[in-house]
């Protein structure tokens, strides 16, 4: 096999050569005689100027390529593209492929200087007689020009003009082709053509085509494979092997035509061509999924995609960011940790079914950096059959195994409205109180119910008291009593935290939350209402996990980040640093960690452990509309949410079967908690244990709560336990026991589907609250927030 020698001539030399052999004169005469040329405004006098007074070669924008996403280990897990293309050098293309494309598309490529006179004249005469374009006489250089003009088009109109079957377009292409021949060598032109041409089956450029058709790189193409690809270029849609058997047969016919032409031009021997024609087509289509639906980690992929479109770090305007994404050709090194991702996916899949209308979602974030390590959900990302897609917190949407919402993220990153965060928000009131000088054992007497009728002012200085709302503790016991910062946190006592928020100030609590990255999932302003501490704002797991990660990082909040490095198409690398700030004092964070660690030993998560120091907070919402658990170690933080995808208010988590288990009521410790424990245990397996800093007991230790000693004595007397038994009872947690009894009812195990748990649903009062001029109705039941 031999390649033709490269000949490089300028257009002037070409024209002199044409005139010398008499062909140029014939061409001029032909052009002048053609009726369509006259209508295009060309005359014999200006044809010479048309072909000698050349414009600059066409502007060449970078060709659209794939943007590839790599996990933290450097393995690809997703890619975006508007055109599936990987640009390669000519040296990375098998010589037989170069010969095949020249043989079938422009056999005189190495002899002419952009204008194949014989082919062009034949096509012009045929097309003029027919009154339309029926034959193609374009050289490879002219075809390259046409593709460049199409790629440069910014509108459908411009693209139509670049493809218009007119003589004027052909003349323009010819002029640009002569200009390109003056600028580039034959090798450079051929390389550009092979990278820009469309081969069918969604493959742009020879490298993508080789991978798509035969699952091999362009450098390893064989003779039959090269002939197949060369044959596809002329009619890529009519020979698309991914569509049907009929098109594959057309593709085989085109392959054989190319082989015959290669033998005719002595690129291969007739014997080799015949042997290649006897071989089967042997198409091995390699899937090249684009976008997030085909990714193994779709929710993380979607987050990255939206981050590229919304973060000013990747472009000053959205239009600029969209152009950058469409152009592609970049490699994004992300923060995704496959081990953590698998752990989250398995933990969720083991407890929540894809077809359940109740959905679970989890985000994992590294404290101190904001790096998102995992994003998982119980539903698969994609559209449901029948055209329906499920949405997050949107009543009336179809339920199914798939969703087109990013259930783990906020609206800005493809998510929905989120779910109310419940008692996970108590941590912001806790941190605010500790910063203001409260001590662990400091507290006060609490009543059996609480009405927020005074003492609540938002950050604009407006009074937001709500005398029509009545708050009760969880489980509807209706009893008050002494509570300290410690016991109120471990038992998640609603009334205690409402009164604590009243004393430390609603605005300081909101300010703490904002400093830790708290923002509503739907992007609207936080609702600064008395029940802020009970989690009435709808949130997403990424935001909540990032806030709790700040406690694990000793008060250093870092904005969630999914991309750590961008590798441009020219090889330049740009590191993306974390975006962090001091949210709360280190000492305050240490104190919060100390109390939240007690949630596992003395509070609502008693009996559940990941085998290493951890801290966290359950969140069971008003009326069981949603349930959360958010927790962390110094190495990893995670937040798990559970709610009904059809609408959390219309479909509370009561008397439901999720996975293979029946729940009288889903609470933070009964489903989100176990998911968190299972996923965190697996994600941290093999990671060296890191302990929290011990709190400054001189600053936070001690404190006094009126009536606490007497209450403990009465509790000991009622339970009939000595001091050791009482301490064991405290470790179990009074509220943890109530949660267990409530979840089981009087009928034993929750898994008994035939039995039903009768839950008290006594609602004392329905009230409205105003936010930015809009009213929203919610209920304040006896069974409150956890």
Q: pLDDT tens digits, residue range 461-475? A: 999 999 999 998 865
Within 13 Å and on the Cβ side, how many CA atoms surround 398? 12
Beta-sheet pairing, 481-484 with 563-567: unpaired
Stretch 215-244: mean pLDDT, rounded?
95
Write phi, then psi, for 639 (nearest 5 degrees): -135, 135
Question: What is the number of other CB atoms lying within 10 angstroms of the CB of residue 160?
Answer: 11
Q: What is the DSSP string of 708-752?
A: HHHHHHHHHHHHT--HHHHHHHHHH-HHHHHHHHHHHTTSS-TT-
Predicted local distance difference test score (pLDDT) of residue 111? 87
Cα–Cα distances (Å) from 610 to 371, 382, 415, 729, in that order, read 21, 33, 29, 21
Rounded distance, CA 611 to CA 737, Å?
Answer: 21
Q: Rounded distance, CA 521 to CA 393, Å?
A: 11
Q: Which ranges in 265-334 belong to alpha helices (H)?
A: 270-278, 298-310, 318-327
Q: How far apart are CA 675 and CA 187, in angstroms?
A: 59
**Res. 784 pLDDT band, cuts 50 70 90:** very low
Q: Is the dihedral of CA 701, 702, 704, 709 positive or negative?
A: positive
Q: Please give the order of strands across the beta sheet that includes 637-644.
A: 372-377, 358-365, 637-644, 626-632, 615-620
pLDDT in tens, 541-599: 999 999 999 999 999 999 999 999 999 888 899 999 999 999 999 999 999 999 999 99
- In sequence order, what are the residues at sequence separation of 6 or more whose Cβ sits closer than 8 angstroms to the Cβ of residue 194? 88, 90, 93, 97, 98, 101, 205, 206, 218
Q: Which residue, chain included where needed, has tokens 């085109």?
A: 254
Least confident of 14-28, 86-100, 510-524, 655-669: 14-28
Contact in structure between 202 and 85 (CB atoms under 8 Å): no
CB-based burial, 707-728: b 16+ in 10 Å, e otherwise: ebeebeeeeeeeeeeeeeebee
pLDDT digits (tens, 9 = 90+) for 618-637: 998 878 899 999 999 999 99
User: Does position 776 have pLDDT exceeding 50, yes or no?
Assistant: no
pLDDT over 90 at 678, yes or no: yes
Helices of type H across 34-164: 35-39, 44-52, 95-105, 117-130, 140-152, 156-163
Give the whole-angstrom CA distance, residue 147 versus residue 567: 27
DSSP annotation of 32:
H
Apex CA 674: angle with CA 673 and CA 678, to 5°? 120
Query: Please, are residues 152 and 161 in contact by the beta-carbon 8 Å criterion?
Result: no
* Measured distance CA(171)–CA(44) in Å, rounded: 14
Longest Cα–Cα distance of the chain, Å, equals 119
- Whether residue 163 has pLDDT greater than 90: no
Residue of 250, 17, 41, 234 whose CA lies nearest to 137: 234
Strand pairing category for 626-632 and 331-334:
unpaired
State yes or no: pLDDT of 210 exceeds 90: yes
Contact between 544 and 421 (Cβ < 8 Å): yes
Distance from first CA to last CA of the chain, Å, rounded?
Answer: 78
Share in percent of the chain as helix, strand, coil (round to 5): 45, 15, 40
Confidence of residue 26 (pLDDT cuts 50, 70, 90): very low
Query: And the tokens for 15?
Result: 């024209």
Angstrom distance (rounded) from CA 671 to CA 663: 9
Tell me how far CA of residue 627 lies from CA of 359, 483, 539, 640, in angstroms: 11, 24, 12, 8
Gap between the Cα atoms of 173 and 176, Å rounded: 5
Cα–Cα nearest to 422, from 744, 677, 648: 648
Determine the Cα–Cα distance for residues 489 and 440; give it in Å rounded to an integer.
10
Give how far Cα 568 sits from Cα of 59, 204, 238, 573, 574, Å.
21, 20, 35, 6, 8
Helix (H, G, I), strand (E, B) or coil at 151: helix
Question: Residue 680: its pLDDT value, please?
Answer: 98
Q: What is the pLDDT of residues 481-490, one digit of tens each?
A: 999 999 999 9
For the ranges 137-146, 496-505, 695-704, 771-780, the lowest mean pLDDT is seen at 771-780
Buried b (16+ CB within 10 A) or exposed e, 330-342: bbbbbbbbbbbbb
Phi, psi of 742, deg, nearest 5: -65, -40
pLDDT of residue 99: 97
595, two tokens:
């109390």
Q: What value does the mean pLDDT take over residues 441-448?
A: 95
pTM greater than 0.85: no
Written in H, E and C, the secondary structure of 463-519 is: ECCCCCCCECCHHHCCCCEEEEHHHHHHCCCHHHHHHHHHHHCHHHHHHHHHHCCCC
Give CA 416 to chain center in angstroms.
13
**φ, ψ (nearest 5 deg) of residue 444:** -165, 170
Of 156-165, 342-351, 619-628, 691-700, the least confident: 156-165
Structure tokens at 285: 């289509």
At 773 the pLDDT is: 30
- Do residues 507 and 528 lie in contact, with contact meaning Cβ atoms separated by under 8 Å? yes
Residue 390 DSSP class: B
DSSP code per residue over 356-384? -SEEEEEEEE-TTT-BEEEEEESSEESPP
Residue 10, pLDDT above cutoff 50: no
Q: What is the pLDDT of residue 487?
A: 94
């Amino acid at each position: 096999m031999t390649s033709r020698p490269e000949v490089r001539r300028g257009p002037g030399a070409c024209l002199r050569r044409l005139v010398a052999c008499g062909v140029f004169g014939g061409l001029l005469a032909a052009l002048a005689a053609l009726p369509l040329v006259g209508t295009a405004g060309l005359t014999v006098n200006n044809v010479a100027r048309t072909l000698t007074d050349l414009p600059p070669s066409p502007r060449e924008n970078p060709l659209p390529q794939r943007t590839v996403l790599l996990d933290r280990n450097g393995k690809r897990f997703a890619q975006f593209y508007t055109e599936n293309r990987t640009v390669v050098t000519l040296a990375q293309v098998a010589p037989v492929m170069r010969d095949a494309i020249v043989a079938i598309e422009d056999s005189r490529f190495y002899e002419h200087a952009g204008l194949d006179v014989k082919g062009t004249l034949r096509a012009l005469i045929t097309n003029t007689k027919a009154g339309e374009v029926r034959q193609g006489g374009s050289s490879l250089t002219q075809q390259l020009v046409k593709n460049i003009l199409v790629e440069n088009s910014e509108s459908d109109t411009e693209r139509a003009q670049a493809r218009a079957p007119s003589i004027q377009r052909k003349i323009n292409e010819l002029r640009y082709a002569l200009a390109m021949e003056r600028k580039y060598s034959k090798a450079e032109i051929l390389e550009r053509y092979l990278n820009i041409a469309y081969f069918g089956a969604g493959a742009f450029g020879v490298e993508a085509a080789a991978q798509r058709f035969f699952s091999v790189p362009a450098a390893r193409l064989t003779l039959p494979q090269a002939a197949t690809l060369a044959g596809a270029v002329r009619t890529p849609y009519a020979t698309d092997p991914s569509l049907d058997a009929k098109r594959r047969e057309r593709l085989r016919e085109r392959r054989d035509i190319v082989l015959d032409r290669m033998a005719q031009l002595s690129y291969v021997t007739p014997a080799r061509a015949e042997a290649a024609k006897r071989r089967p087509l042997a198409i091995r289509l390699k899937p090249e999924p684009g976008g997030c639906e085909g990714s193994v980690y779709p929710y993380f992929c979607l987050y990255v995609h939206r981050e590229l479109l919304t973060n000013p770090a990747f472009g000053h305007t959205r239009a600029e960011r969209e152009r950058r994404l469409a152009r592609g050709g970049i490699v994004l090194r992300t923060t995704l940790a496959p081990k953590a991702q698998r752990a989250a996916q398995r933990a969720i899949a083991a407890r929540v079914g894809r077809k359940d209308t109740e959905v679970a979602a989890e985000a994992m974030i590294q404290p101190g950096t904001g790096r998102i390590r995992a994003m998982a959900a119980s539903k698969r990302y994609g559209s449901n059959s029948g055209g329906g897609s499920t949405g997050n917190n949107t009543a009336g949407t179809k339920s199914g195994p798939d969703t087109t919402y990013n259930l783990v993220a906020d609206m800005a990153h493809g998510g929905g409205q989120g779910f109310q965060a419940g008692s996970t928000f108590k941590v912001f009131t806790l941190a605010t109180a500790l910063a203001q000088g409260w001590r662990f054992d400091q507290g006060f007497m609490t009543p059996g119910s609480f009405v927020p009728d005074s003492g609540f002012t938002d950050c604009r200085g407006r009074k937001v008291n709500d005398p029509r709302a009545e708050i009760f503790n969880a489980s509807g016991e209706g009893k008050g009593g002494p509570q300290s910062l410690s016991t109120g946190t471990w038992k998640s006592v609603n009334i205690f935290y409402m009164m604590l928020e009243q004393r430390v100030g609603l605005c300081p609590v909101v300010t703490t939350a904002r400093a830790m990255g708290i923002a509503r999932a739907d992007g609207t302003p936080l609702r600064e209402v008395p029940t802020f501490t009970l989690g009435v704002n709808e949130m997403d797991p990424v935001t909540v996990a990032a806030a709790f990660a700040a406690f694990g990082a000793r008060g250093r909040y870092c904005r969630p980040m999914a991309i750590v490095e961008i590798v441009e198409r020219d090889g330049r690398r740009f590191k993306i640093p974390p975006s962090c700030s001091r949210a709360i004092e280190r000492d305050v964070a240490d104190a919060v960690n100390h109390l939240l660690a007690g949630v596992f030993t003395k509070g609502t998560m008693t009996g559940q452990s990941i085998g290493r120091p951890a801290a966290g907070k359950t969140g069971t919402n008003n009326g069981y509309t949603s349930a959360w658990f958010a927790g962390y170690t110094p190495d990893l933080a995670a937040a798990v949410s559970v709610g009904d995808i059809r609408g959390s208010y219309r479909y509370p988590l009561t008397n439901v079967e999720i996975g293979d288990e029946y729940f009288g009521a889903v609470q933070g410790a009964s489903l989100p908690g176990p998911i968190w424990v299972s996923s965190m245990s697996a994600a941290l397996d093999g990671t060296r244990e890191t302990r929290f800093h011990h709190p400054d007991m001189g600053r936070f230790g001690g404190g006094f709560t009126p009536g606490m000693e007497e209450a403990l004595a009465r509790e000991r007397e009622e339970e009939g336990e000595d001091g050791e038994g009482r301490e064991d009872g405290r470790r179990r947690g009074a509220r943890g026991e109530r949660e267990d009894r409530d979840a089981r009812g009087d009928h034993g195990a929750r898994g008994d589907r035939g039995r039903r748990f009768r839950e008290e649903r006594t609602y004392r009062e329905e009230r409205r609250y105003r936010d930015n001029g809009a009213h929203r109705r919610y209920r304040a039941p006896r069974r409150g927030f956890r």
